[in-house]
Structure 1
Amino acid sequence: MKFKIDRFILAIIATIIFAYFFPQWGIEGSPFPISTVSSIGFFLIFFFYGLKLSPKQIKSGLYNWKLHVLVQLSTFLLFPLLILMFYPFVQTEEQHSFWLALLFMAALPSTVSSSVVMVSVARGNVPAAIFNASISGIIGILITPLWVGLFIEKAGADFDYGSIYMNLILGIILPVILGLMLQKYGHELAMKYSKQLTLFDKSVILLIIYKSFSDSFYNNIFIDINWFDLALLFGIVILIFFIVFYIIGLIATKLKFSVEDKITAQFCGTKKSLVHGTIFYKILFKNVAASSVILLPLMVFHASQIFIISIIASKLARREEHIIQ
């Protein structure tokens, strides 16, 4: 079986390399208004998301409540609790920065596009995947800042919940509502050009990644990070993924989920959104020291989850009816 490396992962790697050699365009004071462009880009991402969102599918998904509860508890409780287990071992400021980055990753909502695509490939419950991935982004606006803010405040950083929630409402909720209100005029058009809009989403994410790493390289943030630390980060991220994946599988089996619902629970419950991560990063960590390393675990997890879930989905797609190999 052939495995293709996701082109978006290659684009992220290329962006980081470009930021290393040309950081001057992404730093503060650059003639290119990268912060303004990225803010407009994120507004449009969620506006188009509102245009594409199907209220009928969301409504129909409400009935499978056990599946939804399992996915959301895994996303916003199980993940962060696993990271909290490592907190007593954090000793230095550098370790705290890495740990906070892992907590940020763990507290993020699930991702919509890849969850739905992979569930579809694996022949899972696609409507339930759409519902969970969509509702996860809304819940994350409330839950993610609560998890992260608790430990940023302990670090002595400025963390204004009122300002943060207002920025999240203006940056995510408002454009989604506008998109929903204008569905009558733009839904079919947004669905027709869905692939182009996905490309736009990824372009905005790459812009944020470029700015983050430009700041890091320009200010030598990564100078003390060695290959052992990176390898350790990869190991931790992959270990967390498999722990959550198998815990969800065990609970789904105990609850006697159908094969399709179990697939959906495992796929949606182990995803973390790079789209939400990058916009939350801009809002939550603008006053935090060493904030440039915050996105690193998320990008490692993003690459890992796509690769691992792709393999699992391909295997499940060939299963006999009602059997998970």
Structure 2
Amino acid sequence: MQALKHLKRVVTDWFLCGMFLATFLAWLFPDVGRSGGAMHAEYLINGGVFLVFFLHGINLSSEQIGRGLKNGRLHLMVQGFTFVVFPLLWWLADKLLGSHVPALLMLGFFYLCALPSTISSSVALTGSAGGNVPAAILNASLSSVLGIFITPWLVSLVVGTGSNGIDLGATLLDLCALLLLPLVLGQLLRPWLGRFFARHKRYTNILDKLVILLLVYAAFCNSMVSGMWQQQGSAVLITAFIGSALLLALILWMTTRTARALRLSPADEVAAVFCASKKSLAAGAPMAALIFGAHPGLGLILLPIMIYHPLQLIVCSIMAEHYANRPAPITAGTLLSAR
């Protein structure tokens, strides 16, 4: 029953429904959202991404980040899983199964593994589970900033650089201009604008999601125009779903075991598991547009993160409720107060 309750919550989420609608509209009207199409989506996307990351910078609390600096083992674990363990798991899967999976889908799985962690859902779930919220804010925010540099570098290791791959230097400059610059500007203007945007955070969250939906629509429009989806059967969707589900299950098991092996406190374990297992669609969609450009296979490259995103929300929501309901550890202070 609990699983059904969480599934219903995700199914009725307008953003997740919007992703299905965006892909359906791309199938109906691919010429509208393709590069150079009537919508000129590439210009709308650049402006929207800049604005969204500017708002992220304004809403990012440097005070809470400062309070999360204490536990070095937790921070190393989260960043290590995000940018080292995930890619290594892909490398192992590629060696074992790469010849049986379409090349673009395999690249999509690598892109998923190279992405930074989420901010909003990691922090929200950590809070609802009674975890270390300042540490979650620090690690999710640090992951997002590091991802601007590490994610394209990791992708370049797989696809190469130069004429046959990505132009790493130009890509980093574009990412800094569209993601890092507005983030820094937002932080600089936070003392004057922070309270105003905090009161209207609901609307900034809506804008954030609308920009992601526009990115998804444009990516699938380009894929539809190229005929890529017509060449792929339903097997590619099944493969993407099974691969994303197995990856999530494995990473949650590994992060939980690692947190306990490191003897993290229960609150730190919650923050570590939720931050280290998450992957950000909010960062992944705009970064993909900058890294891969108008690649006709962008829709297929984004498919794994589009599946992983709702799966992580469903499973981690159930885990958060389990964490919140577990009995508090008995301490000496608890025994004394009981007397």
Q: Check if 1:59 corresponds to 2:66.
A: yes
Tell me, what secondary structure is at the counterpart of 1:62? coil
Residue 90 in 1 paired to residue 98 in 2?
A: yes
Which residue does the alignment assign to 1:165? 172
Q: Counterparts of 1:221-300 in structure 2 under 5 Å?
A: 221-286=228-293, 288=295, 290-300=297-307
Which residue of structure 2 aligns with residue 104 of structure 1?
111
Long gaps (5+) in structure 1: none
Cα distance, 1:24 vs. partner? 2.0
Deviations, residues 201-249 of structure 1 (Å, cap 9, x unaligned): 0000000001011111222211232223311211111111111111111
Distance of 2:42 and 2:191 partners within structure 1: 32
Q: Confirm whether residue 77 of structure 1 aligns to residue 89 of structure 2.
A: no
Q: Which amino acid aligns with 1:97?
A: L
How many residue pairs get aligned? The number is 322
Distance 1:110 1:299 in 2: 14
- Offset, 1:255: 1.2
**Paired residues for 1:311-322 under 5 Å:** 311-322=318-329
SS of 1:272 mapped into structure 2? coil
> Normalised by the size of structure 1, how large is the TM-score?
0.94
What residue identity is the alignment partner of 2:223? S
Distance (whole Å) between structure 2 residues aligned to residue 196 and residue 289 of structure 1: 32
2 CA distance for matches of 1:119 and 1:12? 25
CA radius of gyration, larger in: 2
Deviation for aligned residue 1:190: 1.2
Following superposition, the deviation at residue 138 of structure 1 comes to 0.9
Residues 211-230 of structure 1: matches in 2 within 5 Å? 211-230=218-237
Structure 2 Cα separation of the partners of residues 217 and 291 of structure 1: 10
Distance 1:288 1:205, change over 3 A: closer
Letter in 2 for 1:191: A
Moved more, 48-57 or 100-109: 48-57
Report the Cα offset of residue 292 of structure 1.
Answer: 3.0
- The structural deviation recorded for 1:158 is 3.4
Residues 322, 7 of structure 1: alpha-carbon distance in 2 compared, 3 angstrom cutoff:
farther
Residue identity in the other structure for 1:235 = I
Q: Write the mapping of 1:126-137 to structure 2, written as runs, cut at 5 A.
A: 126-137=133-144
Greater Cα offset, 46-55 or 1-10: 1-10
Q: For residue 176 of structure 1, what is the aligned residue in structure 2?
A: 183
Contact 1:157 1:288 in 2 (8 A): no
1:258 aligned partner, one-letter code: S
* C-alpha distance in structure 1 between counterparts of 2:36 and 2:141, whole Å: 36
Aligned to 2:123, which of 116, 121, 139?
Answer: 116
- 1:46 aligns with 53
Preserved CA contact (<8 Å) 2:140 2:275: yes
Report how far residue 187 of structure 1 moved: 0.4
* Residues 220, 298 of structure 2: 8 Å contact kept: no
Q: Which runs of 4+ in 1 moved over 4 A?
A: none
CA contact (8 A) 1:109 1:136 kept: yes
Q: Are 2:209 and 1:197 equivalent residues in the alignment?
A: no
Question: TM-score scaled by structure 2?
Answer: 0.90
1:114–1:83 CA distance, 2 compared to 1 (3 A): same
How far apart, in 2, do the equivalents of 1:61 and 1:91 lie? 43
Identify which of 145, 151, 159 aligns with 1:138: 145
Unpaired runs of 5+ residues, structure 2, are 331-339
Corresponding position of 2:24: 17
The letter of the residue matching 1:210 is: Y
Shift of 1:154: 7.8
